[in-house]
């Protein structure tokens, strides 16, 4: 699985669980060779630790976040009613199409939509029109 080492850091691999043990072992070998944090962003729609076909847990090599979508009720429970939308794109190229869902949400919500962000591996922030901005995903590690 050479592509586990291919490309610029950070690398994003979406839906990692179908790659199976071969992919997870390749990631483990890569992390064991260089344990610098933030080299890879692994995503998937199944709980990684609950996939029965994976023999590796990446224990001590990974941090896991379980992300849940906001329900309509949760969005309405914001004190001021404002909504910020965030999408993550696993690539360098951000286009207007990358904002389709956020633009739809902005148009439906009107003034309640505060801002929409697309996080990507593009190194520079880029404005994409009314209340829409592309930001480098590295901003997540710089926050605080």
Burial of 62 (0-12, 13-18, 19+ CB in 10 A): middle
pTM of the model: 0.50
| CA gap 87, 81 in Å, rounded | 20
Number of H helices, E strands in the chain: 4, 6
According to the model, what pLDDT value does residue 77 have? 41
Expressed in percent and rounded to 5, the helix, strand and coil fractions of the chain are: 35, 20, 45
Does residue 122 register a pLDDT over 70?
Answer: yes
Instruction: List pLDDT tens digits, range 98-107.
Output: 999 899 999 9
Instruction: List pLDDT tens digits, range 16-28.
Output: 777 778 888 888 8
Does residue 72 register a pLDDT over 70?
Answer: no
Boundaries of every domain in the chain: 2-50, 72-142
């Amino acid at each position: 699985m050479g592509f586990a080492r291919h490309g610029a850091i950070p690398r994003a691999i979406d839906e990692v669980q179908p790659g199976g043990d071969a992919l997870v072992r390749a990631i483990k070998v890569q992390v064991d060779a260089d344990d610098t944090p933030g080299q890879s962003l692994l995503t998937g729609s199944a709980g990684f630790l609950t996939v029965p076909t994976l023999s590796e847990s990446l224990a001590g090599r990974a941090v896991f976040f379980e992300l849940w979508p906001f329900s309509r009720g949760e969005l309405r429970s914001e004190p001021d009613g404002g909504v910020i939308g965030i999408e993550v794109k696993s690539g360098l190229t951000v286009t207007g199409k990358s904002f389709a869902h956020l633009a739809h949400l902005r148009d439906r919500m009107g003034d309640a939509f505060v801002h929409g962000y697309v996080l990507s591996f593009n190194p520079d922030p880029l404005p994409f029109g009314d209340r829409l901005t592309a930001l480098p995903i590295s901003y997540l590690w710089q926050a605080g």
